[in-house]
Structure 1
Amino acid sequence: MSLKAENVFKPGAFPEYTYVSRNYDASTGISYEMRLKQALRTAGCLTSIIGPSKMGKTILCEQVIGLENIVEISGADFSEGTDFWATIAAKVGIPYMGEVTTERSSTEGESTEKDSKNEKYVLSKDKIIEYCKKHEKVLVIDDFHYASMDMQMKMAQQLKDAIRRELKVVVVSLPHRADDAIRRNADLSGRLSLINLETWKEEDLKKIALKGFHALNIEIGAELAEKLAVECLTSPQLMQYICLSICTLLEDENSQKVTEELLQKAYRFTTMNLNYTDVMMTMVKGPNPRGQKRKHYKTKNGKELDLYGLIVESLAKNPPLTEITFEEFYKRILELLDSSDVREKPDRQTVRSHLHNLQTILEGKEEIYKAIEWKDGIIYVLDPLFLFYLRWGRFNE
């Protein structure tokens, strides 16, 4: 039976045909898979995986642990007052609390009497831990940074005792929001296996495309595969999305060969499935001006933008970067401006102030809006798919 594109390129699921193993240590040839296996075999240790968004942290866990053995929870599952072990029990599928009815029979002469008693119970954490160990379950806490700092500290306290009882636990988080409650917890000192996932190299991303297109008997040249790898912004998930778009367009054209023209079309086609319009518009709009008129600047492509619009357009400039120092970002803004415009250019402090305003706006909204973060003099693009949308979506038409 011939393979279908959707079976080969899977942006949101485990990619059976296009999984690529990467080196954790190039000098020894040790892979990330070997490193995670080693960490999970170390009794009494908690595994901490740190890596940028959309980099395959969860897929790595699924490859090594097996989807059927993972008990996955998210930092977003926990708010103040959430019962840590009740949440885990629910994910495992065992009742955490309830009532049990016990009956007692007594026989007097020829009659039998029964009385019953209802008793409430709450499953202890020890029983949950033992259940997980018996069934070889591994607790994976994804997006640990979504929990509040107070909740992170409480979870860390619970995990300390759990790993001592040899429950296998993996905590997954982002680099600049690193799980300080875990890594800086004195009680966990010496009980951590730390795995830092580097961003994907273009050569590894290229393998995803080559493996997948080969499985589908689709022709793609090395040069085009390299261009595709650059545009994926170090994200294997984005590579899966774009390759799937390419396959859809090829089917429509009844072709089996990827061309330069098709790549450009596939980039824009892919953005149609990315729902970042409201995020982009929120950033372009900025805070409520409250009747004050904003300064506008003329760009080289003839647009009239205020500073918030310039910030968004600067993010989309070449080369695509997910981490930009302020000086580099300020340089990008100036390069956008029309040199013939006599109006005063924005100064560094004004740009910093606008970045701070954007940060405040995005922090007060849902998680999808937290696509960028301005911290310690660096602009972080937290979501590569958002940056791809800025580069190829309607904003740049």
Structure 2
Amino acid sequence: MDDQRLRVGQVFVAGGAPTITYNPRSELNLEEQILDYLDEGYRILSVSGSTKTGKTVLVRRIVPPSEGMWLSGGAINSAEQFWDSIAEHLGLYTSIERTSDSKDEVWRTTTGQANIGIAKGGIENKEIVGSTSGEKVSRARNVITQAREALRGGLTPLVIDDFHYIPQAVQLEIVRALKDLVFDGLRVIVIAVPHRAYDVVRVEREMTGRVQQVSVGFWSREELAGIARKGFEALNLEDKDEALIGRLSDESFASPHLMQDFCLQLCKANGYRQAQDERRQLVAPDWSSFFADRASMASKAAFDLLARGPRQRTDRKERQLKSGAVTDIYGAVLAAIAHTGPNTELTYEEIRAALKEVLSSDSPQRHEVTRILEEMTKIATNEIEGEPVVDYDVELGKLYISDPYFAFFLRWGVPDLA
């Protein structure tokens, strides 16, 4: 008989939509806010949250792909791509073809000989002679007009995930084109990282007052612990004093994605890959190697690209760190960021102060640091797949570590950096 017991991968789901360990964070009324928006409409709903904090899982819980039009911002580089995606989703025809035919027929009778058995005789054959003519007319339909007609007044929500991936000029075109459709009742949900949550308003000032915000926010220690408790209970595993749960929560950078992964790996480190018949006590692994192993798989490639800098750069001035390591300005800035904890949101002043603490030589000038931060953002956006691991907002003068996995790597993956 097949073993039907739950597998740990079914319980702790890192990177997908968990069921057993799903936490609605009821005290924040997140699901209720989305449901209220769907009831009321006449605005754009912006759901914001840091990478891997569960914002997409939350929206999919309320608006599954089978009940909404889901578009990925990472696949939209132009307004034409946006409307083409909607037309494809709705199965719209982009051309009309009309054909007309006419046929003149004349029957003609001919006589011939036929041999049937031993008898011989004549046989009449009838055939059609004449002419045919036809006309085919086709007309292309404007995709944007057709898609807008299909969306107007519709009750199927339009969800644009990773809205911040779309170039701002394209965002503006999209928002302006959707404005009157929203006024007519179309529900539009955009999902973005927190510092891009107001992109809808930033690109189109007329949307001020017409955008509703739902902030997923960072997860609390208790919320993260809830993931572990539910999962361990389902697997018949136990952490009596919750010391293991506490440690995992502390290292998760407020990310349920990381917490799911940690819990999954802790079960495997204890030799458990499925639910147990009897209650089993979990034991602590060697934490240093446990986290170092997780970090080595997380963001090394992204770190190496950022530390290398632009491909065409020639400035390789050596920078001495107090740790004894020798690097350049890119490595020094990464060392300074890591030195902060790393914090996932940093001002220039905080980075400057951290540089003074990690460098044994003079700190670089302000324009040098901001230039490096801007270059790192370009690399993170153009050369690294997925969510940009760092994002420097020039307008706000802040650096964001958008990916908790990258923050975790800075803490555990490069111990000699700072």
Question: What's the TM-score, normalizing by structure 2?
Answer: 0.78
Structure 1: how far apart are the matches of 2:264 and 2:75? 31
Cα distance change of structure 1 residues 228 and 145 upon mapping to structure 2, 3 Å threshold: same
Picking from 293, 303, 307, the partner of 1:269 is 293
* Count of aligned residue pairs for this structure pair: 379
SS at structure 1 position matched to 2:158: strand
1:50 Cα offset (Å): 2.3
**Alpha-carbon distance in 1 for matches of 2:98, 2:415:** 63
Q: Does 1:223 align with 2:246?
A: no
CA separation of 1:291 and 1:151: change in aligned 2, threshold 3 A:
closer
1:14 corresponds in structure 2 to 17
Amino acid at match of 2:266: I
Structure 2 counterpart of 1:313: 335
Separation in structure 2 between the aligned mates of residue 290 and residue 154 of structure 1, nearest angstrom: 35
TM-score (norm 1): 0.82
After TM superposition, list the pairs within 5 Å mapping 1:104-253 onto structure 2. Answer: 115=134, 117-122=136-141, 124-129=146-151, 133=154, 137-182=156-201, 185-220=204-239, 221-251=241-271
Residue from 368, 387, 392 that aligns with 1:374: 392
Contact 2:68 2:156 in 1 (8 A): yes
Find the aligned partners of 1:224 and 1:180 in 2 and give their Cα distance.
Answer: 40
Question: Could you tell me which residue of structure 2 aligns to residue 340 of structure 1?
Answer: none
Bigger mean CA deviation after superposition, 105-114 or 41-50 = 105-114
Q: Counterpart of 2:69 in 1: which secondary structure?
A: strand
Task: Let me know the Cα RMSD of the aligned residues.
Answer: 3.3
Which position in structure 2 is the counterpart of 1:329? Answer: 351
| Aligned-residue offset at 1:314 | 3.0
SS at match of 2:238: coil
- 1:268-324 per-position Cα deviation (integer Å, ceiling 9, x unaligned): 3333443x3332123223357966552331423x42333432322333346342112
How far residue 188 of structure 1 moved from its aligned partner, in angstroms, is 3.2
Which residue number corresponds to residue 56 of structure 1?
Answer: 54
Q: Look up the equivalent residue of 1:321 and give its one-letter code.
A: N
Matched residue, 1:35:
33
Counterpart AA for 2:94: M
Give 3-state SS (helix, strand or coil) of 1:251's partner. Answer: coil
Residue pair 1:48, 1:194 contacting (<8 A) in 2 also: yes
Q: Are the equivalent residues in 2 in contact too, given 1:46–1:192 (CA < 8 A)? A: yes
Summarize the Cα distance change of 1:30–1:354 in structure 2 as closer, same or farther, 3 Å threshold: closer
Q: Secondary structure at the match of 1:279?
A: helix
Between 1:139-148 and 1:70-79, the stretch displaced more is 70-79
**Aligned to 1:316, what secondary structure does the other structure show?**
helix
- Match of 2:17, SS state, is coil
Cα drift, residue 223 of structure 1:
2.5
| 3-state SS, counterpart of residue 196 of structure 2 | coil
When residues 57 and 222 of structure 1 are mapped into structure 2, their CA distance, relative to the original with a 3 A threshold, is: same
- 8 Å Cα contact 2:161/2:191 also seen in 1: yes
CA contact (8 A) 2:172 2:203 kept: no
Task: Look at both structures and tell me which one has the larger radius of gyration over its CA atoms.
Answer: 2
Aligned equivalents of 2:281 and 2:169: distance in 1?
54
Unaligned runs of 5+ in 2: 108-127
Q: Any conservation in 2 of the 1:286–1:358 contact (CA below 8 Å)? A: no
Distance in 2 (alpha carbons) for counterparts of 1:137 and 1:330: 49
Aligned-partner Cα distance in 1 for 2:87–2:313: 50
- Asked if 2 retains the 8 angstrom alpha-carbon contact of 1:356 and 1:374, the reply is no
1:50-71 CA deviation, whole Å, 9 max, x = no partner?
Answer: 2222221111111112232132
Q: Is the 8 A contact 2:86 2:147 kept in 1?
A: no
Task: Report which stretch shifted further, 96-105 or 211-220.
Answer: 96-105
Q: What is the Cα deviation at residue 157 of structure 1? A: 1.3
Identity of matched residues, %: 27
Change (3 A) 1:292 1:48: closer
